[in-house]
Amino acid sequence: MSLFELSPTELRLLRRLNRPWKIQEYLDGLPINFERRGETCMSPRRVMREKTAHCIEGAMFAALALRINGHAPLLVDIETVPSDDAHVMAVFRQNGRWGAIHKTNHLALRYRDPVYTSIRELVMSHFHEYADGDGRKTMRSFTRPIHLRRFDAQGWMTDEDDLWYIAEYIADVPHIPLLTRSHVSLLRPMSVFEAAMHRKTEWDRSGKRRRRIS
């Protein structure tokens, strides 16, 4: 039986992504999953087949690619105020420092080199650019790394059904607050320039990658 029931073709692809930044480049090349046919939470197998992903789908794919190449398959969830969307990222550790891999359509949530001494420090590296449509900074809490081996018996890596059980688990796990109310009261909204940059996206809704960001 193939490793984790992955096909030889799938394993070859994953083994080629033998550096975290190579995983990020693979994900960057996939169009955003705009869920035109309804909400999805695709397994890594389905991401490879459909060649599209949104944030949690990309994070789970990255976690599997990290695992195949000797890292633990770890996810971290970032929670926000209700006016904004939560985000899930894959995290990894090299030489005692943390980095992150993301799938996103915006500038704020991008690859992080493994230079951060803690998960909190890694999460906070996204803080100033993580905002809602009105330019209000929205990050409020995060999880400790969640090891996906807890879902191995359910076949999360190759499941043909949506992995809502992982999304629900991540949402329900205790989150660590980042700010007190007094901290929130001191937050400055984005400037007009910052907000304009925040609205830029990499992929349009037709599935085409923008060649110019202006």
Q: What is residue 2's predicted lDDT score, i.e. its pLDDT?
A: 65
139-166 mean pLDDT: 97
What band does 198 get if pLDDT is binned at 50, 70 and 90?
A: confident
User: Domain ranges in the chain?
Assistant: 3-198
Q: What is the pTM of this model?
A: 0.94
- Are the CB atoms for 162 and 42 separated by under 8 Å? yes
Given phi > 0 = left and psi -120 to 50 = alpha, else beta, which region is 52? beta
Tokens (6 digits) for 58: 């990309």
Instruction: Kindly tell me if the per-residue pLDDT of 120 is higher than 60.
Output: yes
Instruction: Kindly tell me if the per-residue pLDDT of 141 is higher than 80.
Output: yes
Instruction: Kindly tell me if the per-residue pLDDT of 1 is higher than 60.
Output: no
The residues with which 139 forms a beta bridge, in sequence order, are: 80
Tokens 């409020």 belong to residue: 140
Q: Identity (one letter) of the amino acid at 125?
A: S
